[in-house]
Amino acid sequence: MSISDFYKQLEEVTKAGKPPRVIESGQGAYLTIGGVKKLNFCSSHYLGLAEHPRVKKAAQDAIEKYGLGTGYRTLAGTHILHLELEKAIAKFKGTEAAVVFSSAYMANAAAIQTIISKEDIVISDELNHASIIDAVRLSGVKNKFIYKHGDAKDLEIQLKEAEKIVRQPKTDGNKPLILIVTDGVFSMDGDLAPLPEIVKLAEKYQALTMVDDAHGEGVMGRGGRGVVDHFGLVGKIDIEIGSLSKAFSVIGGFIAGKKTLIDYYNLKARQRLFSIALTIPDTAASLEAINILLESDELVKKLWDNTNYLRGEFKKLGFDTGHPESPITPVMLPSEDIAKEFSAKLFEEDVFATPIVFPMVPKGKARIRVIPSASHSRKDLDFGIKAFAKVAKELKVL
């Protein structure tokens, strides 16, 4: 293939793509797009912290005191704020320690690649996030098992298969490790992983457990401490991955767990060793966001009040919202074309809610994914509900 043919192929693929909407404002209850104010019904800033005065001030004050940049954590990039943030995360999560990365994507990659070799075993939920799938690939592990989504019985079937491999030692003489990995909250349907059953099976088959709780942090559990806390399993999960870009509205990710494990990640994780640390304002803002939740559960309660109201009104109208157990509320639609048209008509009604279609979800499972936040007032929610009702009537989907 010639270089010109290569670029022609790329051009053909990119022609089919659709550029994203460009946001011209902060991400609160409303957004400005194309100079017009739109109800924000699809971002994952669950607690409204993206425009919280305390979070903004923390970033501003940190810039004034420390500047902007950091560096590699192992050279000249570990700042006192990084250590304070990691300490606050561990306190919030109820773990012995935590380590921060520049994104939750990187945290997932580090969590698996650092401890899993090609002769170990990974067992993964079939609907796990792309970052987990990529992390498993990156590890180079040969023994990969997939269990049916949220199905503990099928997980045990896979564990029994893995047990056969464990009987054969690795080339270094050690037994293969088994790692069970799952999302905590599944971002397309808003359902939860069956963690109590997973923990029982992990204990039975001597497997490590890993939960990516990107959409559970600040949302589930006591005061938003996450899905592990929600199930009363604090201390029972080996590896907890969290995001600082969802409910905390900043950027970054982390691994939380036992101090011995975190010390090992600090020493060996390539995603930490060879990547720049969080900037000063990002670190300070994340720390303040966590402190807000450590002080009060007011925002979490407001989020759930809004979620329950919105979901109840959708059901009254006759929408199919699936069976979510988190604030993520999928409004199921008959086809991908209708989902796209529904979203476009909502936009005309000044409601920003994006369509979710294949390959993000299987064909036949198109939906508008609605995410309320603590920043929405009842009036905001009613405005959105009215727009959904109007568009549904126009498209005859109820």
215 a catalytic residue: yes
For the question of residue 18 being annotated catalytic, the response is no
Q: What is the DSSP letter of 49?
A: G
CA–CA gap between residue 179 and residue 154 (Å, rounded): 15
Q: Does 316 participate in catalysis according to the annotation?
A: no
Please pick, among 246, 302, 365, 376, the residue that the annotation labels catalytic: 246
The catalytically annotated residue of 38, 82, 129, 215 is 215
Written as six digits, the tokens of 95 are 């773990």
Residue 177's identity, in one-letter code, is L
Q: Is the CB of residue 189 less than 8 Å from the CB of residue 330?
A: yes
Map residue 233 onto helix, strand or coil: coil
d(CA 84, CA 236): 24
DSSP output for 240-308: EEEESSSTT-S--EEEEE-HHHHHHHHHH-HHHHTSBPPPHHHHHHHHHHHHHHHH--HHHHHHHHHHH
- Catalytic entry in 103, 131, 139, 187: 187
Reported as half-sphere exposure (CB side, CA atoms, 13 A), residue 215 has a value of: 25
The Cα 109–Cα 280 span in angstroms is 23
> So which residues are the catalytic ones?
187, 215, 246
